[in-house]
Amino acid sequence: MTGIRLHAPKPGWSVDADVVVVGSGVAGLTVALRCAAAGAKVTVVTKALLDDGSTRWAQGGIAAALGEGDTPEQHLDDTLVAGAGLCDDEAVRTLVTEGPDAVRRLIATGAQFDTDAESGAILLTREGGHHRRRIAHAGGDATGAEISRALVEAVRAAGIETIEHALVLDLLKDADGRAAGVTLHVMGEGERDGVGAVRARAVVLATGGMGQVFSATTNPAVSTGDGVALALRAGAEVSDLEFVQFHPTVLWLGPDAEGQQPLVSEAVRGEGAHLVDADGHRFMVGAHELAELAPRDIVAKGIMRRMQERGAQHMYLDARHFGAEMWEHRFPTILAACRAHGIDPVTEPIPVAPAAHYASGGVRTDLLGRSTLPGLYACGEVACTGVHGANRLASNSLLEGLVFAERIAADVTAGLRKAGAPGEALPPEASAAGTVLAGPKARLEIQRIMTEGAGVLRSRESLERAAAELARIDEDAAAALEAPGTESWEATNLLLVARVLVAAALRREETRGCHWREDRPDRDDTAWHRHLLVTLRPDRTLSVSTTGTAAFPSVTPDPSTTGAEPRSTT
């Protein structure tokens, strides 16, 4: 077996499945349901409870060309503009053409979207970067929670095996180097606890994002980049990690606020809220044709510039003109969060500032969700399909999870039907380079370094300083803690994804999308109309290369063990 592994005890128990899905958001549960419906034996592994991932926190909704007069072509155009020249056209076309029917299948699964009381038509709103109202929502501003509810109920009704409170550790491989399962650590006591293994013919990573690499984020505490770190250690390729989207309007809780911060959905601006400074001036008017509804990277930069000009720590989102009834019915979740922190948006503007929100990059995949490592798939925020380019268009994330989850399930189940006996999963080996960090202290230090050096505003100086500090943490890491645990493994994962993000941000010497280099303020299509590809060498150093164009090369998996032919090389 090749690859770097976390320092962990050997598995004390194991289970067998055709497919193991790691993660229980919209992407993971959709893969699980579709594979199970095709007759595959599926095991879902999730870090907390089934409904505790990032999906449940999605407020705004899911984007699809469902409205009268809207078309996939228009959705494609808006996505390409937001992606700042780095979207994969074929991936975006797949998303927008297959998206409407994928949403309808989600509704058939049980998700209930807000509808017009008289016509029964799905209500649609606008968000940043969209020229049409195409965002379907549920519960006003609780779309993710409703989607999660429907999918969790469907998974339980289908009798799919689930292992909760389980942190995935590393990939298992067979003698041919194919993915053959995962090792994991179950937190707590029960039928299964401690380190174990799920042996499977296919592994699907749907672990979500890595927002916890920064001090302030909209991501839940479980979003520590575990899937990207696992894939890197196993030898897979990741791409575009420098493109971290900072949501423009996150509730400002003070200069020392850390951890998950309350999101103020873009849908609030879609319904007519205004961004203003302390004097009530709408600073986005004139800065972009869509003003407050410009793509997120532009709005975040606009807020940061105004903050710098005024010496302020935040700006304001003013929606007092909505009135109490609209706030209570359209945005009840946001209203409650604001009031819980002493702010009443019915009578006063909401203090907001950008915070880490979404990773546009991740484990590089093809249009069937296949990574560069045979048998390993990735879907949702952990993946880099090429859909988002340098900046994700608002509410495309839930749709991407749906569309590519269905494609993964089709490929996995087709591969299971044509494949012979699975290769035997070899027992995990401890890596000679398997350092691990000492938990909470290291996590906080990584977050501080990344916030200061690789946040919304970056420069060569800040990134080089961050790289040096991260290298020091890596060098000081214990070669082997006697009793490593969840906090140590999470911090180790955060360190790895932080190193990759900083290395990519240093390499990309331009400003594009949500990657903002103060020392390189212009977009440079001549030198940087391409992607960065990163792998982890056996000595734990990073290999960073570039594609020749904005198109991704083929992942070239073994066609004899998958359900379709590889994507053509570009």
Just list the catalytic residues: 296
Copy the structure tokens of residue 378: 């990735």
Question: What CA–CA distance (Å, rounded) separates 389 from 507?
Answer: 17
| Structural element, H or E, at residue 148 | helix 143-157
Reduced to 3 states (helix: H, G, I; strand: E, B; else coil), residue 250 is strand
Q: What are phi and psi of 409, to 5 degrees?
A: -60, -40
Question: What CA–CA distance (Å, rounded) separates 177 from 375?
Answer: 9
Instruction: Report H helices in 239-295.
Output: 266-270
How many of the other CB atoms lie within 10 Å of CB of 120? 7
β-strand 315-318 against 350-359: which pairing, if any? antiparallel
- Of 532, 538, 566, residue with least CA distance to 389: 532
| Structural element, H or E, at residue 245 | strand 244-251
How many of the other CB atoms lie within 10 Å of CB of 246? 28
Diameter over CA atoms, the chain: 69
> Strands, DSSP E only, in 131-229?
135-136, 161-163, 166-173, 179-186, 194-205, 216-217
β-strand 62-63 against 135-136: which pairing, if any? antiparallel
Block residue for tokens 């709103």:
125
**Amino acid code (one letter) for 113:** F
Question: What CA–CA distance (Å, rounded) separates 249 from 43?
Answer: 37
Sequence length of the chain is 570
| Structural element, H or E, at residue 297 | helix 296-310
When computed from its CA atoms, the radius of gyration of the chain, rounded to whole angstroms, is 22
Contact partners, residue 519, CB within 8 Å, separation at least 6: 459, 460, 461
β-strand 124-125 against 259-260: which pairing, if any? unpaired
Reduced to 3 states (helix: H, G, I; strand: E, B; else coil), residue 91 is helix
